[in-house]
Chain A
């Protein structure tokens, strides 16, 4: 089981790097899907079953398909976009590496872990998450529907060629 953690982590890191480095956007999307499926495996390892299912449905099912649709409809796969200059790319790598080191050093030994509650392996099941969601977080849950409908209206307005056509 511990082997599984490191196996999934290696898959995630490698596919995430390939997302950044691969030439065509289609390959990037495929590697991102692999990365997300490995992440669903991590959720299952953490016994967060509700999140694992929602992650598969929302990310791999909806968002990645949306990306693929846009790439195919706009024919972006052959888009000849020049690379950044090598100076900018070296600067990007150095920046990301320094960010990694700084955050890691900041979180390394600054706190000691004391579990807040007694260990309970059932917190990620649908019934427990649902109870918390619909008792303590009911108002944010309802407000998020407003966010959704406003983003949907915004996307449709952007998609229109001209607002006067309405």
Chain B
């Protein structure tokens, strides 16, 4: 355990920023790229998690535990969001018998 905590200080913080921004961009790409609603929900989870990772990295580098509590709250909100989002998806499948996001295009205007 001592080795792990000392090795952290050798990795520059910029690499965590790079990793998180890359993951967030991949999530954004998935939201724009796919038409399947369930994959869009998964990509939203991916974006949540990239933010969580960056908050944890900042917390570890600043030695401030408050950010880790924030990550905990983000996880709570993500769990609630997934429950509601998946029930909306179930209702959509039941009503229009498809999970194509383009069937909901009237929500745009």
The chain A residues found within 8 Å of chain B, CB to CB, are 1-2, 5, 9, 12-13, 16-17, 19-20, 25, 28-29, 32, 35-36, 39, 42-48, 50-51, 54-55, 58-59, 62-63, 66-67, 70-71, 74, 76, 79, 81-84, 88-89, 91-93, 95-97, 99-100, 103-104, 107-108, 113, 115-121, 123-124, 128-129, 131-133, 136-137, 140-141, 144, 147-148, 151-152, 154-156, 158-159, 161
Contact = CB atoms under 8 A, between A and B. Distances in A.
26 contacts: A19-B39, A19-B42, A28-B42, A32-B42, A32-B46, A39-B49, A45-B4, A46-B8, A51-B71, A51-B72, A66-B83, A70-B89, A70-B90, A74-B93, A81-B98, A89-B33, A92-B32, A96-B29, A113-B61, A123-B60, A132-B65, A132-B66, A141-B73, A154-B84, A154-B87, A156-B87
Nearest to B34: A20
- Does more than half of chain A's interface fall in helix, strand or loop, or is it mixed? helix
- Does more than half of chain B's interface fall in helix, strand or loop, or is it mixed? helix
A13 B30 CA distance: 13
B11 interface: yes
B29 A92 contact: yes
B6 to A, nearest CB: 8
Interface of B: 1, 3-5, 7-11, 13-15, 17-19, 21-30, 32-36, 38-39, 41-43, 45-46, 49, 52-53, 56-57, 59-66, 68-69, 71-73, 75-84, 86-91, 93-94, 98-100
Given A79-B99, A140-B73, A115 B62 contact: yes
Given A2-B11, A45-B8, A63 B79 contact: yes
Of A29, A104, A137, A151, chain B has the most CB atoms within 10 Å of the CB of A151
Nearest to A31: B42
A159 B89 CA distance: 10
Given A81-B35, A93-B33, A147 B75 contact: no
Contacts of B3: 1
Contacts of B17: 104, 107
A97 B49 contact: no
Contacts of B77: 144, 147
A44 B4 contact: yes
